[in-house]
Chains A and B, each alone.
Chain A
Amino acid sequence: MTESAQDGEYDAWLDSIESDNGYYLECSNGHGWLPPRRVCPRCHDQDLSEVDLPESGEIASHTTITVPTPQFEDDAPYVTAIADFGPVSVTGLVRDVDPDDVSIGDVVGLDVGERVTTGERAVVFRPR
């Protein structure tokens, strides 16, 4: 990966969230996935369409990471969570909440933020 090259459908997906048009991919049988996908891994359906992401999701699990990789050195400690948005779940950094106050079931919205360490874009969750 060169610095200038984007990651295709992934960066386009981040763009969509930044412009409040976040979506996921849904197959004919209602299975949801995040791009890039050409086929539903569950039912082999290749007819995937873009569907609007629900505005909020619930934290399914979370962890406060104190020993990071070098790319997150200045971010630590930080909270990484998986949030359930119904048809899809998304992994992101929880922002605007004290790490000790994050709980399973918390309602969050999806946003794009920056990593403290590198300034690169990252999926973030903020309380709703």
Chain B
Amino acid sequence: MSDPRIAGASVTHFGKHPERTGRDLFAEAGLEALSQAGIDPDDAEALYYGNFMGELAEHQGHQGPLMAEAIGLDVPATRVEAACASAGTAVREAVKTIRNGEAEVVVVGGAERMTNIGTAAATDALAIAADDLYEVRAGMTFPGAYALMARSYFDQYGGSHEDLAHIAVKNHEHALVNEHAQIQKEITVEDATEAPTIASPLGLYDSCPITDGAAAAVLTTESYAEEHDLDAPVAITGTGQGGDNLALQDRPHLAQTPAADKAADEAYEDAGVGPDDVDFAEVHDCFTIAEVFAIESLGFYERGEGIAAARNGETTRDGDRPINLSGGLKAKGHPVGATGVAQLATVAWLLDGSHPRADAVPDSTVGVAHNAGGTVASTTVHIMEVRE
């Protein structure tokens, strides 16, 4: 079994590009990833592509072959939908395909066009990742769902909105040098705590923005990379996926994310590493509280202790284990179907030293990507390691 190598990766600028079609966004990322990999496109054998709301934003289903065509490939193309974890789940399919020996070269990516339909319609579209009968019809929005989880966390473990503000401040600061990021603006704790409320206790700065963008990566077998003399030092050595009840009301705990626990356990075991081996992580901070759930599920913190990590400076770029050096979804932006592959690309660039924040994690050898869908009813975790 060969651990896939990341031979090339690319992300578009994440931001407001309402006039750009999904296929053009993905073409930019996909063609650049193929170019970075330096492979013959004819060697690509499959595309796994993440997209969540293409039907609602672009009236476009059946995006697999459309996106393969957009990057000039005639390969079996499969769209993967797992809400905000669509691209992470696509990565997992690509990893399995390569490990199973079914392909030597696989392209994985994702794209989302969101701002063209406006904030209200995008909020409506995002809500379909929740249970329509029992949640959406009770007025639940995505900020609302995470607000319910945040309030439950505060009630069970303690913590405050100010603790969450420190996460927003950290991720905004991390994004200042990321030219792909949607928001490159330093904020203060006061900015975050005094921002308008979206869904109490969460405010504007607890939420990631609505984003257009795409990401792509080229994965190959180790032997293909060696035979073609590719510069591909980073391998995906562990993959995990977990699920949970779709509706929050059906879960035993509102302040825990067992789907991510399961995904992390599986990925660590697969890679043969543990939380203590991890140098840094890119996690799914669609809302500030989501970063807390992520770092607890990844085993970096006990339950109830992740809330103080940013405030204590442990997850900042000069901390012991930096979290979201890209700026996270919070500042980098969250084109839903692209996020999991953008995380993969970020981890690879941090490990190979080419990311603008790589100086925060010199000599690092193990990075993690955590991608969550809905209220963490779907999660993928991928472990990446340097393998010269």
Number of interface residues of B (CB under 8 A): 36
Binary per-residue interface labels of chain B (140-175) against chain A in the complex, 1 for a CB within 8 Å, 0 otherwise? 110110011101100100000000000000000000
- Cross-chain contact B127 with A69 (CB below 8 angstroms): yes
Tell whether, in the assembled complex, residue B155 and residue A122 are in contact, meaning their CB atoms are under 8 Å apart. no
Task: For A33, give its contact among B137, B148, B155, B250 (CB under 8 Å).
Answer: B250
Instruction: Using A69-B127, A70-B121, A75-B139 as known contacts, say yes or no to A61 and B199 having CB atoms under 8 A apart.
Output: no
Residue of B nearest to A104 (CB): B155
B107-160 with Cβ < 8 A to chain A: 119-121, 123-124, 127, 133-141, 143-144, 147-149, 151-152, 155
Contact of A78 among B139, B201, B245 (CB under 8 A): B139
Known: A67-B143, A67-B198. A80 touches B151 (CB 8 A): no
Give the number of A-B contacts (CB < 8 Å).
103
Measured between beta carbons, the chain A residues less than 8 angstroms from B143 are 65, 67
Name the contact of A91 in the complex, choosing from B121, B127, B199, B249 (C-beta under 8 A): B249
A64–B137 alpha-carbon span in the complex (Å): 15
CA distance A66 to B196 in the complex (A): 9
Contacts of B152 in A (CB 8 A): 60-61, 104
Interface residues in B211-226 (C-beta closer than 8 Å to A)? none
Q: Does B141 contact A70, Cβ atoms closer than 8 Å?
A: no
Assess the A61–B151 pair: CB atoms within 8 A: yes
List A residues 63-121 near B (Cβ within 8 Å): 63-73, 75, 78, 80-82, 88-93, 99, 104, 115, 120
Q: B residues 169-220 with Cβ under 8 Å of A?
A: 196-202
Does A39 count as interface, using CB distance less than 8 angstroms? Answer: no
| A66 touching B120, Cβ below 8 Å | no
Interface hub of A78, A80, A82 (most chain B Cβ within 10 A)? A82
Please tell me which one of the listed residues B123, B148, B202 contacts residue A69 in the complex, with CB atoms under 8 A apart: B123
* CB pair B199 A67 closer than 8 Å: yes
Cβ of A17 within 8 Å of any chain B Cβ, yes or no, is no
Residues of B within 8 A of A10 (CB): 133
Judged by a CB distance under 8 angstroms, whether B386 is at the interface is no
| Complex contact A123–B138 (CB within 8 A) | yes
B254 on the A face (CB < 8 A): yes
| Closest Cβ–Cβ distance, residue A15 to chain B (whole Å) | 14
Say whether B248 faces chain A, with CB atoms less than 8 Å apart. Answer: yes
A7 at interface, CB cutoff 8 A: yes
Tally of A interface residues using CB under 8 Å:
36
Whether B248 and A91, one on each chain, are in contact in the complex, defined by CB atoms closer than 8 angstroms, is yes
CB of B193, distance to nearest CB on chain A (Å): 16
Alpha-carbon distance between A90 and B140 when the two chains are bound, in angstroms: 12
Q: Are A82 and B196 closer than 8 Å at their CB atoms?
A: no
Instruction: Establish whether residues A93 and B141, one from each chain, have CB atoms under 8 Å apart when the complex forms.
Output: no
In the complex, whether A126 has a CB less than 8 A from a CB of chain B is: no
Determine if B141 and A91 form an interchain contact, defined as CB atoms under 8 angstroms apart.
Answer: no
Contacts of A92 in B (CB 8 A): 138
Q: Is the CB of A64 within 8 A of B197?
A: yes
Give CA–CA (A89, B254) in the complex, Å: 11
Q: Is the CB of A91 within 8 A of B135?
A: yes
Instruction: Verify if B247 is at the interface (C-beta below 8 Å from A).
Output: yes
Chain B contacts for A68, CB-based, 8 A: 123, 139, 141
Instruction: Please name the residue on chain B nearest to A13 by beta carbon.
Output: B133
Partner of A122, one of B120, B139, B144, B196: B139
A69 CA to B120 CA in the complex, in Å? 6
**Complex contacts, A30 vs chain B, CB 8 Å:** none
In-complex Cβ contact of A63 among B119, B124, B196, B200 (8 A): B200
Docked-complex contact B149 and A61, CB < 8 angstroms: yes
Contact indicator B155/A61 (Cβ below 8 Å): yes
Chain A 30-52 interface mask (CB, 8 Å, partner B; 1/0) = 00011000000100000000000
Using known A-B contacts A10-B133, A61-B148, A63-B151, determine if residue A69 contacts B141 with beta carbons closer than 8 Å.
yes
| Shortest Cβ gap from A82 to chain B (Å) | 5
In the complex, the answer to whether B197 meets A62 with C-beta atoms within 8 Å is: no
Cα distance A60–B253 in the bound complex, in angstroms: 10
26 contacting pairs across A/B (C-beta < 8 A): A34-B134, A60-B152, A61-B149, A62-B148, A63-B199, A63-B202, A64-B197, A64-B199, A64-B200, A65-B141, A65-B144, A65-B147, A67-B119, A67-B141, A68-B123, A69-B127, A73-B120, A82-B248, A89-B249, A91-B135, A91-B138, A91-B247, A93-B138, A115-B139, A120-B137, A123-B134
A-to-B contact residues, CB < 8 Å: 7, 10, 33-34, 41, 60-73, 75, 78, 80-82, 88-93, 99, 104, 115, 120, 122-123
B interface residues, Cβ below 8 angstroms from A: 119-121, 123-124, 127, 133-141, 143-144, 147-149, 151-152, 155, 196-202, 245, 247-250, 254
- Which 5 residue pairs are nearest across A and B when measured between Cβ atoms? A63-B147, A69-B124, A89-B249, A61-B148, A61-B152
